[in-house]
Amino acid sequence: MSGREASVDRREPDRGMIDGMRGPVLLEFGASWCGHCRALAPKLARLLEGHPEIQHIKVEDGPGQPLGRSFRVKLWPTLVFMRDGEIAIQVSRPEIDEVRDGLAMIAGE
């Protein structure tokens, strides 16, 4: 495991808290048992190593979770790339190039 792991908080943050965050934020919605999520995890971790300025929030999602519903999450993983509380782009089951582009976009590259 890398030294830069996403913090997984079992208490779901609320939308107001997320919308109030400043700077680049990556929300990752998924489930620990999701095969697609598990396949993306090491690739995402490697890309995030090059972006220490991006706050990565991993949300364990599930049916009826209010934060996931507020972002209309229907597939996992869903990545929401945000900057200063605004959604720059949102992708579900992304290809690695989409992840790379999203990180660059919110990092201001």
Active site residues: 34, 37
Residue 108 burial (10 A CB sphere; 0-12, 13-18, 19+):
exposed
Query: What is the distance between the alpha carbons of residues 11 and 109, in angstroms, rounded to a whole number?
Result: 32
Contact 28, 93 (CB under 8 A): no
Per residue, what are the HEC states of 24-69? EEEEEEECCCCHHHHHHHHHHHHHHHCCCCCEEEEEECCCCCHHHH
